[in-house]
Amino acid sequence: MKDHDKVLLAHGGGGELSYRLIKDLLLPAFDNPVLKELDDAARLSSKNKRLAFSTDSYVVKPLFFPGGDIGKLAVCGTINDLAMVGAEPLYMSASLIIEEGFSLNTLKKVINSMERVARQTGIEIVTGDTKVVERGSLDRLFINTAGIGSIDADLDISGNNARVGDRIVISGTIGDHGIAVLSQREGFQFESKLMSDCAPLNNLVSRMVKESNNIHVLRDPTRGGVAAVLNEIAFQSEMEMLIEEKAIPVKDEVRAACEMLGLDPLHVPNEGRLIAFVAEKDAHSVLEAMRDDPLGKDAAIIGEVIGRNRPRVLLETLIGARRILFLPRGELLPRIC
């Protein structure tokens, strides 16, 4: 690899090479009129709607894994955060922090991944930033995205809105992302290639809110997995819920890998799954609508809200015992997203 194939400190320096990086790489990739203005802030029109705004930084290791890479992850992650309040994704920022010496070709692959998901979902990356830090100050590449979406006036979807009787629905198998990344990192082999579930969930959510206006909560079980998200919602809504372990879809490879590694699939992060709390009367029609979407084909009802004022998650295990499913403790899977 020659020097001109590498990101140099000067690419982050605000001078000529920075200008060229933007002109030659970022502008063509994220091509849209707002970004082209090249002002310090993007100017947006808002159409008098309520807005959603979210951010996440991505530090996944390795940068490329089965089913995705850090770029796809960074765009999907913020789209999904917006979708989880029922917002249609509109605008995104992208900020790259890159280690000196990083391959420009690899950077292009990542940028192209970002662009692909953005185009597919219709979100526009309208502003950005690039920093380069000296070798050894950062492990290769980290990405931050922030997003703005618009929320229809009649939607009120929040982790605070779970109600007694709500059915708890999951959109697909759990743990695929975490185990796919971990396997790549540690060099495990499976008979069949396990892919990350990393995907943008905005279309699935559109289908769901079209089907029912009784979706009370949406949340994507990323870091900390399903266990963390259910506990968060239990605390936010002050509700007690009961989950049936046997109803939770888990791929055989994921189950096997979790057993080998001493992990609970309920703690493993997902990047293209959502959990919905839906009023009992609409639960089955929402479930059917989800199954009509490729990203919801394995959707299942996994539990319900059974009482108020005692915020906790009960798990009916495979052998029929009931135990409390706690918020995960400690760092299970660093740099998984």
At its nearest, how many Å lie between its own copies and the CB of residue 298? Answer: 22
Please count the residues of this chain forming the interface with its own copies, following the rule CB under 8 A: 88
Stretch that binds its own copies, among 43-51, 108-116, 167-175, 250-258 (CB under 8 A): 43-51
Q: How far apart are CA 289 and CA 204, in angstroms?
A: 9
Q: How far apart are CA 143 and CA 139, in angstroms?
A: 12
Closest CA to 132 of 94, 93, 99: 99
Structure tokens at 90: 């509109």
Structure tokens at 218: 């949406």
Task: Name which of 115 and 193 has its Cβ closer to its own copies.
Answer: 115
Task: Name which of 306 and 327 has its Cβ closer to its own copies.
Answer: 327
Pick from 5, 24, 28, 38 the residue near its own copies by CB under 8 A. Answer: 38
At its nearest, how many Å lie between its own copies and the CB of residue 149? Answer: 7
HSE at residue 287, side-chain half, CA atoms within 13 A, is 19
Pick from 108, 109, 131, 255 the residue near its own copies by CB under 8 A. Answer: 131
Footprint (CB under 8 A) of its own copies, residues 18-37: 18-19, 37
Stretch that binds its own copies, among 109-117, 145-153, 205-213, 310-318 (CB under 8 A): 145-153
At its nearest, how many Å lie between its own copies and the CB of residue 146? Answer: 3
Q: How far apart are CA 35 and CA 126, in angstroms?
A: 4
Footprint (CB under 8 A) of its own copies, residues 66-85: 80-82, 84-85
CA quadruple 209, 115, 63, 101: dihedral sign: negative
Footprint (CB under 8 A) of its own copies, residues 88-127: 91, 93-97, 126-127
Pick from 21, 26, 54, 237 the residue near its own copies by CB under 8 A. Answer: 54
Footprint (CB under 8 A) of its own copies, residues 259-318: 267, 269
Task: Name which of 2 and 191 has its Cβ closer to its own copies.
Answer: 2
C-beta of residue 65 within 8 angstroms of C-beta of residue 184: yes
Closest CA to 266 of 218, 311, 314: 314
In the beta sheet, which residues pair with residue 124? 91
Closest CA to 171 of 218, 236, 213: 218
Structure tokens at 73: 């992850």
At its nearest, how many Å lie between its own copies and the CB of residue 243? Answer: 17
Footprint (CB under 8 A) of its own copies, residues 210-239: 219-220, 222-225, 228, 232, 236
Sequence-distant (≥ 6) Cβ neighbours of residue 258 within 8 angstroms = 175, 179, 264, 265, 268
Q: Does 203 bind its own copies (CB under 8 A)?
A: no
Structure tokens at 247: 């109803």
Q: How many C-beta atoms surround the C-beta of residue 47 within 10 A?
A: 8
Task: Name which of 8 and 256 has its Cβ closer to its own copies.
Answer: 8
Pick from 159, 175, 200, 265 the residue near its own copies by CB under 8 A. Answer: 159
Identify the DSSP state of 295: G
Give phi and psi for 216, each to the nearest 5: -95, -40
Pick from 5, 24, 39, 288 the residue near its own copies by CB under 8 A. Answer: 39
Q: Does 256 bind its own copies (CB under 8 A)?
A: no
At its nearest, how many Å lie between its own copies and the CB of residue 253? Answer: 23
At its nearest, how many Å lie between its own copies and the CB of residue 112? Answer: 20
Stretch that binds its own copies, among 255-263, 284-292, 303-311, 323-331 (CB under 8 A): 323-331
Task: Name which of 57 and 285 has its Cβ closer to its own copies.
Answer: 57
Q: Is residue 96 within a helix (H) or strand (E), and if so which, with residue range?
A: strand 87-99
At its nearest, how many Å lie between its own copies and the CB of residue 105? Answer: 21
Q: Does 182 bind its own copies (CB under 8 A)?
A: no
C-beta of residue 146 within 8 angstroms of C-beta of residue 93: yes
- Alpha helical stretches, state H, 161-249: 176-186, 202-211, 225-237
